[in-house]
Amino acid sequence: MISSTITGWGHEVPDNVVTNDDLAQLVDTSDEWIRERSGIRERRHASDGETTATMSIACSTRALERAGVAPADVDLVLVASSSPDYLTPPVSSQVQEGIGATHAGAMQLTVGCTGFVYALVTAQQFISTGACRTVLVVGAELTSRWMNYNDRSTCVLFGDGAGAVVVQATEADGCGLRGHVLGSDGSGAEHLIIPVGGVAQPTTKETLAQDLGGLRMNGREVFKFATRVLGTSLQQALDKANLAVDDIDLLVPHQANARIIDFAAREAGLPPEKVVVNVDRYGNTSAASVPLALSEAFDAGRVAPGDTLALVAFGAGLTWAAAIYQMGPAPLPV
């Protein structure tokens, strides 16, 4: 089995900052309610001209530059997104073209907020078998254009952004993905769904008139689900890696809600300094949240060679995933 390590990272968020007070001008809410229930202070909303593809290309270019990898040397582009520019073509091909990855295959993974962790696990499989040496893994979402601004309990939680990592084969032993869990329970599908716009219920004059568009979420059910799966999947991934909680150097959880992150960290017994939290500044950026948090952690010097990272996420499906990823021994790019 061939090992891997992360050699480059980058993130991209729109310049347009939308504070809780800004949202209170649009919907019946308040800064106090949003902060208390979710820990979110502000989020970014894309402006005209920005799309999931443009944000993905920007963060991918940054990640490749940092890794010192030429786009033509990328073997595979994986983009996790549930808000691609188009239903088809997949946004992964726009990213492949946009960065100039002329020799790469490209694939979009639509697994809700869990998508990036699924994609990282997928990248390792291609590297382990020797099929690929360099995989670009991206998580990107532009959900602000899909929100139903009549649903105040959901629209205040989400934001736009993108993050990317370059994963490369290495001769170093024992690093890369040490253990993982991928989960799905389709019986909970209705709790987090965009019901209109697919083939089951295409957008029509009637659905528009009835205001049926946008993301629907049963917040309480998702909350219960998230607190249940985060702890269990983390422990299962640790067991598979033959590691214990104390071996984790940094937990990078899906940034949906500060209360959910606090709960998971407390339950696992991880101190705050080992947990990455940026939900206060970006809200829930869905599949972008883990790579965005990871990229900021790299930028802040919170990841060292040899460190053990724990990435955990949950989302639409319902789905969940946990990955224990060990960095290789080589010094990280500045």
Which residues of the chain form contacts with ligand COA (CB under 6 A)? 29, 33, 37-38, 113, 152-153, 156, 192, 217, 219-220, 222-223, 226, 256-257, 260, 284, 315
Q: Which of 11, 45, 180, 254 is catalytic?
A: 254
**Residue 148 is among the residues annotated as catalytic for this protein:** no
In the three-class reduction of DSSP (H, G, I as helix; E, B as strand; rest coil), residue 196 is classed as coil
CA 238 to chain centre: 20
Residue 281 Cβ, how far from ligand COA at the closest point, in Å?
A: 17
**Which residues, 6 or more positions from 75, have their beta carbon under 8 angstroms from its beta carbon?**
103, 104, 105, 126, 131, 132, 133, 134, 135
Residue 111 Cβ, how far from ligand COA at the closest point, in Å?
A: 11
Rounded Cα distance between 183 and 332, Å, is 31
Report which residue's Cβ sits closest to ligand COA.
219
**Residue 278 is among the residues annotated as catalytic for this protein:** no
Closer of 8 and 315 to ligand COA (Cβ): 315
Phi, psi torsion values for 321, nearest 5 degrees = -160, 145
Q: Which of 20, 257, 278, 284 is catalytic?
A: 284
Q: Are 151 and 219 a contacting pair, CB within 8 Å?
A: no
**Residue 59 is among the residues annotated as catalytic for this protein:** no
In the three-class reduction of DSSP (H, G, I as helix; E, B as strand; rest coil), residue 256 is classed as coil
Residue 189 Cβ, how far from ligand COA at the closest point, in Å?
A: 13
Residue 318 Cβ, how far from ligand COA at the closest point, in Å?
A: 9
Q: Which of 113, 132, 155, 175 is catalytic?
A: 113
Rounded Cα distance between 241 and 321, Å, is 14
Helix (H) or strand (E) holding 314: strand 308-315
Closer of 153 and 184 to ligand COA (Cβ): 153
- DSSP letters, 50-86, are --HHHHHHHHHHHHHHHHT--GGG--EEEEE-SS-SS
Sign of CA dihedral 242, 245, 248, 254: positive
Closer of 33 and 146 to ligand COA (Cβ): 33
Sign of CA dihedral 130, 131, 133, 135: negative
Closer of 99 and 318 to ligand COA (Cβ): 318
Residue 280 Cβ, how far from ligand COA at the closest point, in Å?
A: 14
Active-site residue numbers?
113, 254, 284
